[in-house]
Chain A
Amino acid sequence: RVSSDGKPPKFQPPPKPVIVDRKTQKEERRFLSPEFIPPRGRTDPLKYYIERKDMIQRRKVFNIPEFYVGSVLAVTTADPYASDKAKRFVGICIQRGGKGLGATFVLRNVIEDQGVEICYELYSPRIQAIEVLKLEKRLDENLMYLRDALPEYSTFDVNMKPVPRMDQEEIPVNKLQVRMKPKPWSKRWERPKYNIKGIKFELPEHKMKAAQKWSQPWMEFDMLREYDTSKIEEKIRKELSEELEK
């Protein structure tokens, strides 16, 4: 650097560092609806391929949004006996079952002090619209214990407004620990077979210890029960993205 006047050269501030957040860029959150993953069995894969073609066909015409167990949905179905010919039900998704075209989800809500659960089929032509009012996950994949929890945890306002969220955010996990009604419950939720993390058990210590008698610690090491779906999922994701872009 040649000094211009004999004075020291003008201070050049160092270039600002460009922060490249590699972590968030690498993990692209790609959601694959669980009913696309074929179950383990001896069925011909051609059957699943044909079923997937029908499912993709339906998704092109009707938008089935991404949702998880624990999100609040509003579903409008066609009903010949209702005035307006359409019925709208708002509830929290407590279970997603079934594979292929027969995939279902159960919505639960408490209306006028009466708990109501409705099981809808995702691909039924009667469904007019599915809106996700609140997209979030919970600590468990199956929230059937809400039947034995205090009713305040299952009540959702029927005229709830959709909670706004940005597109690229991570899905929030609601770490709510639910308080239960006094026993007896419909199932013994404290037993390790259900592996529930979302209940605040207020049972005495000796009862919790007694429930651990039914634990089967060898199950997680059983290799025959392993079903690695990563490769199958990749193929299905590729197929889906190709077909839906057409």
Chain B
Amino acid sequence: MMPIWTKSGEKHAVTLLKVQDCHVLRYVSKEESGAKTAKLLVGGKNVSPFSKPESAHEIFKEAGVPRKQKVTTFNVTDDAIIKPGTPLYAAHFRPGQFVDVTAKTIGKGFQGVVKRWGFKGQPASHGQTKTHRRPGAISTNKAAKVYRGKKMAGKMGNIYRTSFGLKVWRINTKHDIIYVNGSVPGHTNCLVKVRDSKLPTYKDCNKNPPFPTFFADGDEELPEDLFDEEIFQFTDPSVTFA
């Protein structure tokens, strides 16, 4: 995470996400999957093929791509279908766009009710016998049962969570890095799924994105760094309030 300053001098914290060897693996049509839209399977970081059996390598062999550590699905409209085997780059996103980021949260193991659900616990003194971080009562008398989904102690973390509506501040095309506003679930160097935001406020935010994706054919020469309009670039002199 890094600080980033706007032209008016305000500071925002930004997370750096690297797009490492992403390829489209397979196209699943609407009829095949039975869903409302077509799907594209996309694979992430390259990893050694020797730790998995040959049967697991089928998808990668069809696409002509080394084995990937993570495979995710994206729901895609029919006009945005991409041929399996195309690489995906960070320039697919543009600064000023809004994005949802999904990842597995940091695993905390078996945790008690105070840390896991934020219960208040009991006072430290004034006669409490062996009760300082316990849940207390779990149901009422009339219910005569404990409801399903009652918040109790258990394994915390290591589940998929999404941060919605994160602004993309900057894209580095040389190293394929996306600078995304705020924090993102997961530990450092963990695998993350970045998707266009589905929040209704940001429905019309994308003006002329590279559609269906950014193909590095050599037609479009992008500069090494793409900045949002409001970012203070370090090549400018210091901010003054006239």
With an 8 A cutoff between CB atoms, is A78 at the interface?
Answer: yes
A contacts with B: majority SS: mixed
Number of residues in B with C-beta < 8 Å to the partner?
A: 22
- How distant is the Cα of A133 from the Cα of B16 in the complex, in angstroms? 38
With an 8 A cutoff between CB atoms, is A79 at the interface?
Answer: yes
Number of residues in A with C-beta < 8 Å to the partner?
A: 28
- How distant is the Cα of A174 from the Cα of B69 in the complex, in angstroms? 56
With an 8 A cutoff between CB atoms, is B11 at the interface?
Answer: yes
Chain B residues in 8 Å Cβ range of A86: 240
Contact mask for chain A residues 35-72; partner B; CB cutoff 8 A; 1 contact, 0 none: 00000011110110011001001100110000000000
With an 8 A cutoff between CB atoms, is A101 at the interface?
Answer: yes
Assess whether A126 is in contact with B238, with CB atoms less than 8 Å apart: yes
Assess whether B234 is in contact with A128, with CB atoms less than 8 Å apart: no
Assess whether B177 is in contact with A50, with CB atoms less than 8 Å apart: yes
Contact mask for chain A residues 107-146; partner B; CB cutoff 8 A; 1 contact, 0 none: 0000000000000010111111000000000000000000
Tell me the nearest residue of chain A to B237, going by C-beta.
Answer: A61
* A226 CB to nearest chain B CB (Å): 23
Chain A residues in 8 Å Cβ range of B234: 54, 57-58, 61, 123
Assess whether B241 is in contact with A85, with CB atoms less than 8 Å apart: yes
With an 8 A cutoff between CB atoms, is A80 at the interface?
Answer: yes
- List the one stretch of B2-10, B144-152, B203-211 in contact with chain A: B2-10
Assess whether B235 is in contact with A47, with CB atoms less than 8 Å apart: no
Tell me the nearest residue of chain A to B172, going by C-beta.
Answer: A50
Assess whether A78 is in contact with B239, with CB atoms less than 8 Å apart: yes
Partner of B3, one of A44, A46, A85, A121: A121
With an 8 A cutoff between CB atoms, is B18 at the interface?
Answer: yes
Contact mask for chain B residues 158-202; partner A; CB cutoff 8 A; 1 contact, 0 none: 000000000000001001010000000000110000000000000
Question: A-side interface residues toward B, CB under 8 Å?
Answer: 41-44, 46-47, 50-51, 54, 57-58, 61-62, 78-80, 85-86, 100-102, 121, 123-128
11 contacts between A and B (CB under 8 A): A44-B189, A46-B175, A47-B16, A51-B2, A57-B235, A79-B241, A100-B2, A101-B2, A102-B2, A123-B234, A128-B240
